[in-house]
């Protein structure tokens, strides 16, 4: 496969992850085996899959834009790597914590206010790190695309919308939904365009 198709595949996976993983986290049930498996799937999507998708997607766009905005694309790739680390970290923290709770039911950790406060704060903080650098990645991609005109202007607008929303998730957690929705739209639209680039050539 060409780099454009890899970028398209990564874009589609990012979109799927932005939709599927949060839905599982919101609706999952840990009281049965299927629920535990569903949460493990969400962690796999939100961690390794999303991390790899962000890096491959940004690298593919960087190669496509070329010298048109090389410095911004280098920074976007760096932001993608940092965001990937944050997203993977929060997924692994969630998974480790959940399996520890399941493996030690005798400790009744879910009844400990201190444990819940520490865990919630840790997850929220690391998640905010991932989203903050995700925001920089989208803003830099939008800026580079505005200069290079690789993608339509409307898609550039979604880059900026997703970017600004993600940048401030650490302060306004309710913006996470807007960032994820905008990111999913970007992933699908961008994936189609990257896939078509090879068809046209």
pLDDT digits (tens, 9 = 90+) for 114-126: 878 888 899 999 9
Q: What is the mean pLDDT of residues 8-19?
A: 98
Other beta carbons within 10 angstroms of residue 29's beta carbon come to: 10
Q: Please, what is the average pLDDT of the chain?
A: 93
Given a contact cutoff of 8 angstroms between Cβ atoms, the answer to whether 89 and 130 are in contact is yes
In terms of pTM, does the model score above 0.85? yes
Q: Name residue, tokens 């949460």.
A: 39
Nearest to 72 by CA among 10, 130, 145: 145
Given a contact cutoff of 8 angstroms between Cβ atoms, the answer to whether 84 and 51 are in contact is yes
- For 27-96, give the DSSP string: H--TTSHHHHHHHHHHHHIIIIIHHHHHHHHHHHHHHHHGGGGHHHHHHHHHHHHHHHHHHHHHHHHHHH
- How much is the pLDDT for 153? 96
């Amino acid at each position: 496969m060409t780099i454009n198709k890899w970028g398209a595949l990564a874009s589609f996976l990012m979109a799927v992850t932005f939709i599927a993983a949060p839905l599982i986290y919101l609706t999952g049930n840990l009281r049965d085996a299927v629920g535990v498996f569903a949460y493990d799937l969400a962690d796999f999507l939100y961690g390794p899959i999303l991390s790899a998708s962000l890096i491959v997607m940004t690298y593919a766009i960087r190669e496509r834009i070329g010298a048109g905005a090389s410095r911004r694309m280098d920074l976007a790739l760096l932001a993608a790597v940092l965001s990937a680390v944050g997203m993977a970290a929060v997924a692994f923290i969630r998974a480790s914590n959940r399996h520890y709770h399941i493996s030690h039911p005798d400790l009744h950790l879910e009844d400990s206010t201190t444990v819940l406060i520490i865990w919630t704060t840790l997850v929220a903080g690391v998640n905010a790190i991932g989203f903050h650098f995700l925001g920089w990645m989208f803003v830099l991609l939008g800026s580079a695309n505005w200069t290079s005109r690789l993608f339509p202007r409307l898609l550039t607008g979604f880059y900026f919308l997703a970017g600004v929303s993600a940048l401030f998730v650490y302060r306004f957690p309710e913006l996470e939904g807007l960032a994820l929705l905008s990111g999913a739209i970007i992933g699908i639209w961008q994936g189609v365009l990257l896939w078509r680039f090879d068809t046209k050539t």
